[in-house]
Amino acid sequence: MTERTLTIIKPDGVQRHLAGRIIARFEEKGLQLVAAKLVQITEEMARRHYAAHKDKPFFEPAVKFMSAAPSLVMIWQGEGVINMSRKMIGSTFGFDAVAGTIRGDFGRSERYNLIHGSDSPESAEKEIEMFFAPDEILDYEFSDARWLYVQRGSPKK
Ligand code: ATP
Ligand code: MG
């Protein structure tokens, strides 16, 4: 099913000049960028974004980190994009994340892990609503879409 996910290149990713290289991985995978903006996330927004973790010891430091400098917030679209992008991002801690994933290749920290990706369709919907108005999300066709995958249910040649 075509899905959308909210992706955030976190302050460390922007500060370390890695935004372009991270975006390239999503482009190379054939995923479609349908919205993007550079955002100075406020502490209040970060608290809302990480509300599920409010009782954890890393909550306040994570809020401070996310609001310390601009983040690049994007929506990527594609079939199965939520799970696929979590796999591309890798597990939470850079020192643990498998090589070949974004966190595994670019970081080795617990907190400074470069990128966020929605973890379920429900969080994707909430997170997209938090950062984007409907008219900021664009609907357009890729000219090479038919070469990216055989659409389910379409005749296989
Ligand atoms: P994200 O939600 O940012 O995509 P995630 O789903 O892999 O990351 P979560 O468990 O949701 O991980 O944690 C949210 C964020 O809080 C992590 O990305 C990381 O920056 C920070 N964090 C999580 N656990 C720790 C920890 N033990 N120590 C320090 N920071 C942590
Ligand atoms: Mg998470």
Q: Is residue 151 part of a domain?
A: no
pLDDT, tens digit (0-9, with 9 covering 90-100), for 12-61:
999 999 999 999 999 999 999 999 999 999 999 999 999 999 999 999 99
CATH number of the structural domain spanning residue 22: 3.30.70.141
Q: Among this protein's residues, is 116 annotated catalytic? A: yes
Q: Is residue 133 part of a domain?
A: yes
Q: How confident is the model at residue 146 (pLDDT cuts 50, 70, 90)?
A: confident
Task: State how far the alpha carbon of 73 is from the alpha carbons of 49, 100, 148, 155, 157, in Å.
Answer: 12, 22, 25, 37, 38
Helix H, strand E, coil C: the string for 34-86 is EEEEEECCCHHHHHHHCHHHCCCCCHHHHHHHHCCCCEEEEEEEEECHHHHHH
Q: What's the pTM value of the predicted model, to 2 decimals?
A: 0.95
pLDDT, tens digit (0-9, with 9 covering 90-100), for 76-134:
999 999 999 999 999 999 999 999 999 999 999 999 999 999 999 999 999 999 999 99
Return the pLDDT at 145: 87
Q: Is residue 146 part of a domain?
A: no
**How many domains would you assign to the chain?**
1
Task: State how far the alpha carbon of 130 is from the alpha carbons of 22, 88, 95, 123, 125, in Å.
Answer: 22, 23, 30, 10, 9
Residue 62 CB less than 6 A away from ligand 1:
yes
For residue 112, the CA-to-ligand 1 centroid distance in Å is 9
